[in-house]
Amino acid sequence: MTYTRSEDKNKALLLQSATAEQIRQHTEDIRQGVTSCCLPPCPRCQLTSDLFKRHEKRSRQFYVVMNQLVVTLMGLLLRWKCPGCNKTATDYPGFAIPYKRYTLPTILGFSSCYVADPDSSYRGLIDACPLEYEAKPDSEVSYTSIMEHSTIHRWVTTLGGYSQIVREATGLILQADPVTSICRDLAGLMIPSKKYASALRKKVLLSCFRLVFLESIYRSVFQVSIFPRLATRCAYS
């Protein structure tokens, strides 16, 4: 599918997605039993995750963006059980977060564009970078509807709820580089008043902005993403 209405500056968003090969490989690794546990110690009994046992695998739909088409792919997620207290937990790969079918690169990309650009809006991002859903097998058309602007609103809300991740990432960056200007940089992040109607929404937007800002800094300092290890350690909160 070729670009239709997407503006040049937003075309990069269409490339921000997990790939079908990433999902296929992760699923195959789970089936072959070669995945290692990336979970933190058990929050209930503090048993190290090296001793966790594979509990079950479950299917998960993933929405992958291919140019301007949202394609549905099936993958697997693995759950582990702590032998000390029988608590179970899902181990998320780097391209997925809890309760979201879209992959993390897409969620971060659109959310970052919204909070970082003072002039952006949910509807504006959809108009500039429309994503069409793949048709169902029995459909007579090649696509269904365009992704709703409320989807981006929900993504921003989800990322804005990860305040613990923001605190932990900031603390680790400060430990690695005590003279960093990260605290000053975070304090300087601003959200235009036209984007919120309450103090609570402003707090959510700022938290989301800080998270997407920290992601690039965290990568440059530690050569890894905040997701999934640090995010999992913070219980995606």
In this predicted structure, what is the pLDDT of residue 146? 82
Name the H helices within 9-161.
Answer: 20-32, 104-116, 122-128, 149-160
Rounded Cα distance, 209 and 26, in Å: 29
| Cβ–Cβ under 8 Å, residues 58 and 77 | yes
| Alpha-carbon distance values, 137 to 60, 61, 66, 67, 146 (Å) | 19, 16, 18, 20, 17
Q: Is residue 180 part of a domain?
A: yes
Considering the entire predicted model, what is its pTM? 0.88
| Inside any domain, residue 70 | no
CA distance 202 to 51: 42
Q: Which amino acid is at 202?
A: K
Q: Which residues contact 82 (CB under 8 A, 6 or more apart)?
A: 42, 44, 45, 47, 51, 52, 88, 89
Q: Compute CA distances 161 → 15, 120, 190, 198, 213, whole Å.
A: 25, 21, 17, 16, 15
Residue partners of 224: CB distance under 8 A and separation at least 6:
218
Range of the domain at 112: 104-128+148-233
Q: What average pLDDT values come out for the chain (237 residues) when binned by 10 residues?
A: 45 65 94 90 91 93 88 94 93 94 94 95 91 72 74 97 98 96 96 97 98 96 95 93
Q: Report pLDDT for 132.
A: 87
The tally of domains found in the chain comes to 1
pLDDT at position 5, please?
45
The two structure tokens encoding residue 11: 């075309």
Residue at 65 is within a domain: no
Helix (H, G, I), strand (E, B) or coil at 108: helix
